[in-house]
Chain A
Amino acid sequence: MLRYAIKRIGYAVVTLFIVVTVTFFLMRSIPGDPLSHMARALPEQTRANYYAKYGLDKPLFTQYLMYMKNLLRGDLGESVLYPGRSVSETIAKTSPISGLVGGIALAIGFVIGITLGIIAALNKNRWPDYLVMFVAILGTTIPVFVFASLLQYFVSVKLGWLPPSGWGQPRHLVLPIIVLSFGPVASFARYLKSSMLDTLSQDYILTAQAKGLSQRDVILRHALRNSMLPIVTILAGRIVGVFTGAFVVERMFGVPGIGFYYISSINNNDYTMILGTTVFYAALFVIAQLVVDFVYMLVDPRIRIVPESR
């Protein structure tokens, strides 16, 4: 078990190394530079001084080695576009905000989605099923920005209940959370429904029913637990996604989260920020994968045996 764990962590480190290296060179092959947002032909000397300041005048491979050296010391550098903003501080400050908004939305979406999934599965091909699936299709097909602007328009402009955008008070959380929980509701409901239907047709459900367990016990203790397996896989990805923010929602509602930096750093050639956010995302993802494997062992007895066998 320990050897297995060490091996897995080793793989994780190699994966991260590859991700950083590939990102570094891919990113530098994008045309433009951090000054191109100025949309001005700057004098040669201005450009040269700027490059020199950020070490961008050195050979690319030298820059790569410098970056790796700093990375090993845990230093992600300073943003090239936002002077004075350290990349690690920015991540540390913004990802919890994304985590808060996204986490609440995910929790709400999870609970509602699972409930709706169960209702749909137990009422297959009857109206509650159709209704749930209708909501689920809406949730996956309506673009986030459409839903968000509709909410802004009706709730803020027409009804005047909540501010359309902003940060700092609990009321600012409501709209982004509603928008962000819509997607999870939809996908959890759909996944759980199909997985539940699959589970309900298994022999052990028949056994449980034959043992004389109440319908409630059969569903909650046997069917639901086994139906959760595919959900755990999606959930892990979603939890990682929570800390990397939601670009569109954050930008529309003025949430100072990390989502902005993922997209804007690429658009603006903010090299250190691109790498920092990528490293952060990759690390979270790799860790989440480890955790998922571990959780699988806890949830599913069939998986539990595998790593132990030699």
Chain B
Amino acid sequence: MSSKWSTKRLFVLFLTFTMVLSVFAGCTPQGKDTGKTAELDAEQYINTYLVADPTTLDPSLRSDSYSSSILVNTLEGLVRMEERNGEYYLNRGDAERWESNEDGTVWTFYLGDNKWEDGVPVTADQYVYSLRRSSAPETGSPNSYFLAPIKNFEAVNKGELDVTELGVRAIDEKTLEITLSEPVPSFLSMIDTTVYYPQRQDKVEEWGEKYGSEAQYTISNGPFKVASWTHNSSIVLVKNDQYWDAENVKLEKVTYYIMPDETTYYNAFEAGEIDFVGTGKTEWLERFKSREDTVYNSYTSATITYSFFNTEDELFKNANIRKAFMLAIDREDINEVCFSGLRVPTYGWVVPTISVGDRNYREAAGDMVKEMLEELKQNGQTPKDLLLKGMEELGLGNDPSKLKVTFSLAGTDEWFRNLGEYLQQVYKRELGVNLEISFAEWGIFYDNVTKGNYQIGFMGWGAYYNDPYDVLSLFVSDYDAIETGWKNAQYDELIRRASTEMDEDKRLQLYIDAETILIKDEAVVSPLATSRVNQFVRDYVHGYSTLGFSNMGFKYVYTVGRP
């Protein structure tokens, strides 16, 4: 069985490539530098690819991951998450330095002397304009919710308050002040997202709705500027000499080919047309690994594969039944059989790559699903006992084979058929349940899920930034992003407290307590595996990063010995 997350599976593809491409976009001066800077190639360029055309390069209106892979190269935000010696390092961007008041609600950023590609200085006003534009309801920004921590955002976004009431102001030309409604510990990681980048009011107004739709309607204050954009074919970036840190930018040119087809980019990599390639297919992995001129980077991403329960369903409203379905799956086995052994078996909702401050979250919180299984074993029980207990609580008798359970999958091709068969076999063997599988295309699947018209579903989700809040907040009652219908006041309270707790140890404990409720007590969601990124880079490329959350574009990339 081949694990083929192919282009058809829109959602996982999207999420997976968020990761793959953020990697292509991640580079560092110290990270993978082998110290051969002396013999830099005379012509400094990189060829790479995107699997889809960016929707737009307008930071307020973009809605896909491809546009952000371009924007991290062409725009400079206040800060930049970089990699130094294999670790995350929060570097300056436009802001030379920053400070916050004591309770972390008022942040002041002191801008350096960066310029736009046309020589106009970057000012605090441009940041104010950008944040206001994204918040204004008439802009219809799909990413505006990233601005939620800013004071008055919600009222402004609803149209109840004027945009000038948004908690952001320019104290002077080079000083920006952002006021939050309450302290947000991960605020500095949040502002390293495209929606916090500055925008030029004069250009946005001049270009109107064309802004960001073609190369000539973009303007850059980042390491590179857009030289050309042929939709669905290629995007060419060239070095921006006006950039404040231009002396550390070695590449003169970065070409992105738009290659939606897998075989095309594999062939292009083999033919030497592109310098990077990512794959999740075993046969290609082996093939690329055997190349001597290629560096193989493999690391855990932030995209989790999981199944989730409709807690408003007649059957799955019972926690013991949910636990039985969660524990009946052997995560090592499903990884081998269904994911070709390419993912990392996962025993908690927060993926292994996320940390709180300097501490890896998963290591601190433990493998919750494993612990549950061990506890069960110590009591001489099996998941089936939990199922029977739940059935008894619901008055459903003691014959699991009579239960009517449908597992919904978001795909109809062979890979999903195999997954469906696997689940049927496992649940029959472990629980004695005769599982039905519903196969549907993504749009139909997701529609059913949002309407609560399902029992168990199967999906992937990629974390945006490096804090458990990003993924744990998805289960807060009035957000319910995973559409489980689950409501738990204690959980909400823990997450709310964690979101404003500036002390890292305390925050970590709050997150652990919350995840314990989510997984151990309530089994609302069943984590299965975390994807890995398998990236191949030609060996003459240096200065890139393999940290999933770093956000540096091709800023520090260079080549030595390109044939």
Of the candidates A52, A145, A257, the one whose C-beta lies within 8 Å of that of B140 is A52
Q: Number of residues in B with C-beta < 8 Å to the partner?
A: 60
Whether a CB of chain B sits under 8 angstroms from the CB of A17 is no
Contact pattern, A 34-66, Cβ under 8 Å of B = 1, otherwise 0: 011111111101100111111000000000000
Of the candidates B148, B273, B447, the one whose C-beta lies within 8 Å of that of A31 is B447
Q: Number of residues in A with C-beta < 8 Å to the partner?
A: 53
Whether a CB of chain B sits under 8 angstroms from the CB of A127 is no
Q: Given known contacts A46-B145, A251-B261, is B139 in contact with A167 (CB within 8 Å)?
A: no
Whether a CB of chain A sits under 8 angstroms from the CB of B503 is no
- Stretch with Cβ within 8 A of B (4 or more), from A82-90, A215-223, A279-287: A82-90
The CA-CA distance from A163 to B56 in the complex, in Å, is: 27
Whether a CB of chain A sits under 8 angstroms from the CB of B217 is yes
CB A35 to nearest CB in B, in angstroms, measures: 6
The CA-CA distance from A260 to B53 in the complex, in Å, is: 10
The CA-CA distance from A32 to B443 in the complex, in Å, is: 5
The CA-CA distance from A85 to B139 in the complex, in Å, is: 16
The CA-CA distance from A45 to B134 in the complex, in Å, is: 13
Whether a CB of chain B sits under 8 angstroms from the CB of A233 is no
The CA-CA distance from A139 to B58 in the complex, in Å, is: 44
CB A148 to nearest CB in B, in angstroms, measures: 8
- Asked whether B140 lies within 8 Å of A254 as measured between CB atoms, the reply is no
Whether a CB of chain A sits under 8 angstroms from the CB of B11 is yes
Q: Given known contacts A53-B139, A84-B58, is B257 in contact with A254 (CB within 8 Å)?
A: yes
Q: Which residues on the B side are within 8 Å of A93 (C-beta)?
A: 231
Could you list which residues of chain A lie within 8 angstroms of chain B, going by C-beta atoms?
30-32, 35-43, 45-46, 49-54, 78, 81-85, 90, 93-94, 145, 149, 152-153, 156-157, 160, 163-168, 250-257, 260, 267, 269
- Asked whether B209 lies within 8 Å of A83 as measured between CB atoms, the reply is yes
Q: Which of A52, A251, A253 has the most CB of B within 10 A?
A: A251
Q: Which residues on the B side are within 8 Å of A49 (C-beta)?
A: 137-141, 144, 157
- Stretch with Cβ within 8 A of A (4 or more), from B262-270, B353-361, B396-404: B262-270
Whether a CB of chain A sits under 8 angstroms from the CB of B142 is yes
- CB-nearest residue of chain B to A46: B145
- CB-nearest residue of chain A to B14: A39
- Asked whether B479 lies within 8 Å of A82 as measured between CB atoms, the reply is no
Question: 14 interchain pairs (CB within 8 A)?
Answer: A38-B63, A40-B481, A49-B139, A54-B140, A83-B55, A84-B58, A84-B212, A149-B267, A152-B264, A156-B273, A157-B271, A165-B264, A254-B259, A256-B231
Q: Which residues on the B side are within 8 Å of A156 (C-beta)?
A: 267-268, 271, 273
- Asked whether A260 lies within 8 Å of B232 as measured between CB atoms, the reply is yes
Whether a CB of chain A sits under 8 angstroms from the CB of B37 is no
Q: Which residues on the A side are within 8 Å of B141 (C-beta)?
A: 46, 49-50
The CA-CA distance from A94 to B232 in the complex, in Å, is: 10
